[in-house]
Amino acid sequence: MSELLAFEAVTAGYGNAVVLDRLGFSIRAGESLAILGRNGVGKTTTLETLMGNTRVSGGSIRWRGQDITRAAAHQRARAGLGWVPQEREVFPSLTVEENLGVVARPGAWNLARVYTLFPRLRERRGNYGNQLSGGEQQMLAIGRALMTNPQLLLLDEPMEGLAPIIVEELADAIRRLCEQEGLASIVVEQHPVLALEMTHQAIVLERGTVVHAGPSAALAADSARLDALLGVGMPA
């Protein structure tokens, strides 16, 4: 598989504050990556930097072989980055179907495919964004990103604040996107075991730099290593 995205010694942050310190990693087409780490280590900032929402003071970001370090956010979205922000940001005064249709771009993902992935959205297609539960809003946020027909899907804390049954449903959908649909994805998630179950590769950040990189399955199987990296108190 060819390289899709690469961060090369990226230093970035907000204003004069540096959050990412010479961060480096790459992802190939069709691959999924979990970004793990304690709170405040730069996980969300990594996605924000990829989308062009931070100040980059060093290094470069390469997308499909092209340098996009200084590209505008809308140019990155147009190039194939699909963003599902932590706050979901669905349009409250639009129906489910209008939320999906307003961002639609030509490609394999259309209303029918999104409704197949998330049958709940089909049932609520006439409901407004502010009439949905948190889980339904998250499904809508993912579905809306898919309607842009991205080449890389970015998911920032997709399971935050959701009931276990909804977490399971969303995790199954994300696994399907990665395994069956072959959609490249980056997942930032506070639940490390869940994130590792959904992805092929994983990196762990500490103070804005990578302190571990490798297959997700291997890290999931090494509870002592996972505990040492994250302090999550994993059972033996």
Contact indicator for 41, 192 with CB cutoff of 8 Å: no
Per DSSP, the three-state class of 181 is: coil
Q: Counting every residue, how long is the chain? A: 236
pLDDT at 210: 97
pLDDT at 34: 97
What DSSP element (H or E) covers 206? strand 201-206
pLDDT at 109: 96
pLDDT at 161: 86
Per DSSP, the three-state class of 85 is: coil
User: What one-character DSSP code corresponds to residue 66?
Assistant: E
pLDDT tens per residue across all 236 residues of the chain: 589 999 999 999 999 999 999 999 999 999 999 999 999 999 999 999 999 999 999 999 999 999 999 999 999 999 999 999 988 889 999 999 999 999 999 999 999 999 999 999 999 999 999 999 999 999 999 999 999 999 999 999 999 888 899 999 999 999 999 888 889 999 999 889 999 999 999 999 999 999 999 999 999 999 999 999 997 544 33
Q: What share of the chain is helix, strand, coil (3-state, %, to 5)?
A: 35, 30, 35
- How far, in Å, CA of 185 to CA of 47, rounded? 11
- How far, in Å, CA of 184 to CA of 64, rounded? 13
pLDDT at 128: 97
b or e along 190-199 (b: 16 or more beta carbons within 10 Å of the residue's beta carbon)?
bbbebbbebb
Write down the domain spans for the chain.
1-80+184-236
CATH number of 1-80+184-236: 3.40.50.300
Give the global pTM: 0.92
